[in-house]
Amino acid sequence: MYACGITVSGEAHIGHGYQALIYDIMRKFLVKLGYEVTYARNYTDVDDKIIAKSNETGIPADEYAEKMIEKIRKLIEKYWDILSYLFFGVLTTVVNYLIYLPVYNLLGLSAAVSNAIAWVVAVAFAYLTNKPFVFKSHDWSAKVVLPELGKFVSCRIGSGVLETAIIFLTVDLMNWDGTWMKLATNVMVVILNYFGSKLLVFRNKK
């Protein structure tokens, strides 16, 4: 598998991390399916923008490109777990929303009940993706999965109860907009769950 990589014409930004992350997830997914994957990704180090930066800084283009490659590589490695968690956090939020909206809007259940149903589905999705892809926990034996899953679900219960309480208070009791409040509470939950997973659930995983 070949991926056209980053053009190193300036400082690192979120798009660089996203580009590297997407292809890495694709590779890991193919490996999980049993394929033997040879993955190559380049850095674009010859480009008009790089030449322009070379002229601007007075640093030879090849030296400037090499400097930026090393800088971007270190930043991506440093924040890899955050980038991957945010990616799957967004997907978890999408799953949550895709369950919540039809249950709330079409089935006519209360916002709190709809939120609880969406939460169960989202937690299952989050565990199955966060474990191998974000926190690199690849042992699926019962002695690892059971305590790990217990802590994971406990953290999610804490944030889920808080989210449901806020939804109940603001939407069911105060008649605030259910769709927008769901989005706001999801952002809060993504942040809380990251720290719960990193510090409590998968803290010993490399």
Same domain, 70 and 84: no
**CA terminus-to-terminus distance, the chain:** 25
| Same domain as 103, residue 53 | no
Last residue of a domain, one of 30, 50, 78: 78
Domain's final residue, options 56, 78, 100: 78
Average pLDDT rounded to a whole number, residues 160-181: 89
What pLDDT, on the 0 to 100 scale, is given for residue 152? 92
- The secondary structure of the chain in percent helix, strand, coil, rounded to multiples of 5, reads 75, 5, 25
Domain presence at residue 9: yes
Residue 206 lies in a domain: no
Q: Could you give the number of structural domains in the chain?
A: 2
Do residue 14 and residue 43 come from a single domain?
A: yes
Final residue of a structural domain among 37, 59, 78 = 78
Strand blocks (E) in 9-126 = 40-41
Do residues 93 and 43 both lie within one domain?
A: no
Judge if 127 and 197 occupy the same domain: yes
What's the CA gap between 136 and 116, in Å, rounded? Answer: 28
What is the band of 55 on the pLDDT scale with cuts at 50, 70, 90?
A: confident
> 108: Cβ–Cβ under 8 A, 6 or more apart, which residues?
none
Give pLDDT, residue 204.
60
pLDDT at position 6, please? 74
Range of the domain at 167: 80-201
Do 65 and 116 belong together in one domain? no
At residue 150, the pLDDT reads: 93
* Cβ-contact 30, 1 below 8 angstroms: yes
pTM for the structure as a whole: 0.65
Same domain, 193 and 143: yes
Q: Is the pLDDT of residue 157 over 70?
A: yes
Beta bridge partners of 2: 40
Percent of the chain past pLDDT 90, that is, above it, reads: 12
105 and 42 co-located in one domain: no
Looking at the domain assignment, is residue 113 inside a domain?
Answer: yes
Do residues 119 and 139 share a domain?
yes
Question: Is the confidence at residue 206, as pLDDT, over 60?
Answer: no
Tell me the pLDDT tens digit for each residue of 69-98: 888 888 878 888 888 888 888 888 899 889
